[in-house]
Amino acid sequence: MVCLAKYIVVTGGVVSSIGKGITAASIGRILRSYGLELTAIKIDPYLNWDSGTLNPYQHGEVFVTQDGMETDLDLGHYERFLDVNLSGEGNITTGKVYQSVISKEREGSYLGSCVQIIPHITDEIKQMVRKIARESQADVVLVEVGGTVGDIEGQPFLEALRQLRNEEGHDNVMFVHVTYVPYLRAAGEFKTKPTQHSTKELRGTGINPDMIICRSELPIDYALKKKIAHFCDVEQNAVINCPDVSSIYEVPLVMDRENVGKYVINRIKLDVAEDSHDLTEWRKIVKSLKKEDPVLKVGIVGKYVELEDSYMSIRESLRHAAAHVGAKVKIEWISAEDSLNTQQLDELDSILIPGGFGERGISGKLDAVRYSIENNVPVFGICLGMQCMVIEFARMHGFEGANSTEFDQDSSNPVIDMMEEQKKIKHMGGTMRLGAYDCKLKSGTLAHQAYQEELVQERHRHRFELNNEFRSQLEDKGLIISGTSPDDFLVEIVELDDHPWFLGCQFHPEFKSRPNRAHPIFVSFMQATMDNKDK
């Protein structure tokens, strides 16, 4: 079936980590400013079924969608730049494609045929891509192919997308190749050869890029763009330069100056006037995000602090909220694995304890909770961070050896325990409590003041919860339960009221913050951080 959506396929070359996701999301932001509806697909050619079982050190944060899929962090960029909730099915992996083809083969769907990469795997990929296009009803579907052109795992995907262009028509599918143009200090010049080679590699798959986006450390000049256009066989106005900028949110503005929108609209014949877009709101957001003072110092006490990408959505949420309260956030990354240096903590305006798995780093997180309670420093715990708040609060109030059964199966006071429905589950992948669930708020609490709503919906990713057997005892000691599941069964938010700002939530609010709509809890936390700084 021919779909009405237009497709923009984004590939990458030369090196990884050049911001292909941000570049693709920025094209999306520009097209959104024309009033177009967009959705995004991220293809990850690895064999894992989803990102849930990947180590954050290797792959950065696991982003959780509203519908409960554990996905690549690029989906987070797309949600933040496009301001849409994406379907988790939009993260296509080799694992998902092969699993689906193999189960069809077992069902007998291909009876009589030899099942092959072409056509069976490529057909499956096209079907998955078209399903997202159809269900989203978007005008434009961004399809980012992870990895770099030439990777063995990526080949079936490139072949499928090449076929997609033939089937949907040249006017409905375009290819954007993102490359890196290095500057050789010794030679005193930029080098286009890596871009030429990776474009040649891409053309070897039968795909001619329509646009080349050149990432570079510094701006490149017109002559260089002309050379790239000539050697890579693209139009001159389709060679776009995207030099490094201080904030990722500036990228759509940089690309807009290069008239990316105009080229795309004409190339895939989008039904909008080429000068009918308006990035005023985005420009305002970028300006507020670039505010230099006052600087609020927030310490993130976590396990994966060497790789900031592990806490990507938290970092972005803090930035959005700081901009919302008219400040700039400076994050101090504090390893929970080393013993905490209180002098370092004394310099902070607030502390955030993020989520995580396993015992490593727990004692540092518990120390940080105790420090915040004893020193009246605002503290925000997310998921495992909230569980640590409950454990330390319990220990401070006489529950000896209080712990989570995740770390101590024999704890005499298991204040955090595995959820009942989790106890029977044996498989690790995709089996946690995942995705959006309702949370009912108690009036008069910090949470209620922040949201100004009775019922909210937040995304989850956990197996453990506050143990209901301890709930009333902890409440007697002063723990406030300000958010629960609508049936009151699961504790969602805890607070303390003899403290300037102490809030822990079992869910992950960071997945819902957008630059234009900072998350209410993060805003409340940044306001408390500002108040603490002013003290």
Interface residues with ligand GLN (CB under 6 A)? 355-357, 383-384, 406, 461-464
Catalytic residue among 77, 120, 508, 519: 508
Q: For residues 110 and 357, which CB has a smaller minimum distance to ligand GLN in the complex?
A: 357
- As a whole number of angstroms, the distance between CA 158 and CA 86 comes to 22
- As a whole number of angstroms, the distance between CA 198 and CA 150 comes to 8
DSSP bridge partners of 298: 331, 350
Shortest CA distance to 404 belongs to which of 436, 372, 366, 371?
366
Q: For residues 84 and 439, which CB has a smaller minimum distance to ligand GLN in the complex?
A: 439
The yes-or-no answer on residue 499 being catalytic is: no
Q: For residues 218 and 428, which CB has a smaller minimum distance to ligand GLN in the complex?
A: 428
Q: For residues 154 and 364, which CB has a smaller minimum distance to ligand GLN in the complex?
A: 364
User: Do 503 and 485 touch, CB atoms closer than 8 A?
Assistant: no
Least distance (Å) between residue 316 CB and ligand GLN: 17
Question: How many Å from the N-terminal Cα to the C-terminal Cα in the chain?
Answer: 64
3-state secondary structure of 383: coil
Q: Is the peptide bond before 294 cis (omega within 30 degrees of 0)?
A: yes
Least distance (Å) between residue 462 CB and ligand GLN: 3
Catalytic residue among 383, 388, 439, 505: 383
Shortest CA distance to 417 belongs to which of 463, 374, 456?
463
DSSP bridge partners of 456: 439
The yes-or-no answer on residue 510 being catalytic is: yes
Point out the residue whose Cβ comes nearest to ligand GLN.
355
Q: For residues 465 and 495, which CB has a smaller minimum distance to ligand GLN in the complex?
A: 465
Shortest CA distance to 38 belongs to which of 2, 13, 10?
10
Shortest CA distance to 36 belongs to which of 111, 126, 142?
142
Least distance (Å) between residue 527 CB and ligand GLN: 24
Q: For residues 355 and 378, which CB has a smaller minimum distance to ligand GLN in the complex?
A: 355
H-helix or E-strand spanning residue 431: none
Least distance (Å) between residue 349 CB and ligand GLN: 24
Least distance (Å) between residue 426 CB and ligand GLN: 16
Catalytic residue among 168, 316, 510, 519: 510
User: What is the sign, positive or negative, of the torsion defined by CA atoms of 276, 280, 281, 285?
Assistant: positive
DSSP bridge partners of 353: 381
Least distance (Å) between residue 413 CB and ligand GLN: 17
The yes-or-no answer on residue 508 being catalytic is: yes
Indicate which residues carry an active-site annotation.
383, 508, 510
